């Protein structure tokens, strides 16, 4: 007999690799924030084309949101990218 799923017992959905995976990085709108973020991601993935990079400033231009869509090959790659992005001083959040 199988146990019925309880509300709140949901497991995280599994990602099937390889796939296109957007990574959103939010940080202070420093002079080279975008360049630092892209350099870190490209260190793991190779060159990223401009059409896979989206940049949005906050309302008061204090923060910058950079979304980079990569061809993710596995969880290890994502973990390494996230760890390296968090080492950038101006990064506040990586999603």
Instruction: Domains for the chain: give ranges and CATH numbers.
Output: 19-94 (3.30.70.260)
**Predicted confidence band of residue 2 (pLDDT cuts 50, 70, 90):** very low
What is the spatial distance between Cα 63 and Cα 59, in angstroms, rounded to a whole number? Answer: 8
Q: State the CB neighbour count (10 A cutoff) for residue 76.
A: 8
- The b/e string for 3-26 (b: 16+ C-beta within 10 A; e otherwise) is eeeeeeeeeeeeeeeeeebebebb
Whether 74 contacts 65, CB under 8 Å: no
User: Which has more pLDDT, 62 or 12?
Assistant: 62
Cα angle, residue 92 at apex, residues 71 and 82 outer, rounded to 5°: 30
Q: What is the pLDDT of residue 11?
A: 65
The pTM for the full model equals 0.84
């Amino acid at each position: 007999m199988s146990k019925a799923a309880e509300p709140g017992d949901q497991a995280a959905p599994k990602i099937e690799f390889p796939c296109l995976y957007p990574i959103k990085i939010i940080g202070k709108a420093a002079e080279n924030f975008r360049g630092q973020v892209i350099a870190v991601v490209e260190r793991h993935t190779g060159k990223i084309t401009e059409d896979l990079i989206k940049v949005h400033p906050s309302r008061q231009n204090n923060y910058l949101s950079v979304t980079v869509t990569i061809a993710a090959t596995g969880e290890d790659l994502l973990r390494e990218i996230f760890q390296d992005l968090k080492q950038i001083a101006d990064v506040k959040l990586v999603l």
